[in-house]
Amino acid sequence: MKGNFMDQNNATFWRGMRARKTTWLKLPDGRAITPADLPQQLGLNNGLQDDPYRALLYFTRDLGYAQPANSTEFLEFYWSEWLKAAPQNVDLSAYTLTDAASYLQAIGTASGLMNRADPNTIIGSSGLTATLMGQLTKAYDPVALAALNTGVDQPKPGKLAYALSYRASLAKK
């Protein structure tokens, strides 16, 4: 809960949301949208678009960054902006994101870039440094990277294996 905004009109509410950086009004390709462009309901079937870079950042947690205690809203989206920008220029079209080995390479690339960034680098449009955005400066553990793909048949499946299995099941429907 961020506050009670019941006394505000629509324009004032959205102005405040933007000023506090508590809304993300961008499409996955970075184009800005207005509040009127937001889907009426959540869900991929209701107009909400998948953001493959934000998904990638989910898997880099504890490899490239650790969630800070008082994290900014949309931390993963800001890191995504940074990965897409020069000089990083991570291009996910170079990877097959339905193939675990290829996806692991993308995660490793992104995590490595995050680890090696200058700690004072401003991350995306956040206005915050890599340090404040939870950057891990020690190289990621390759064993931890591989653990993301522990099979779904295991007692504790890896996050990547589970996600790819889920996506495959959706594709069959």
Cβ–Cβ < 8 Å for 95, 102: yes
Which two three-digit tokens encode residue 84?
């897409």
Q: CA 105 → CA 18, 72, 84, 140, distances in Å?
A: 35, 27, 16, 13
State residue 1's pLDDT score.
Answer: 61
- Three-class SS of residue 21? coil
Can you tell me which residue has the tokens 């991350």? Answer: 123
What one-character DSSP code corresponds to residue 140?
P
Contacts of 26 (CB under 8 A, 6+ apart): 32, 33, 77
Alpha helices, H only, 63-141: 75-84, 100-116
pLDDT along the chain (173 residues), means of 10: 79 88 84 86 71 94 95 93 96 95 97 98 95 96 94 85 88 75
pTM: 0.85
Can you tell me which residue has the tokens 């889920």? Answer: 166
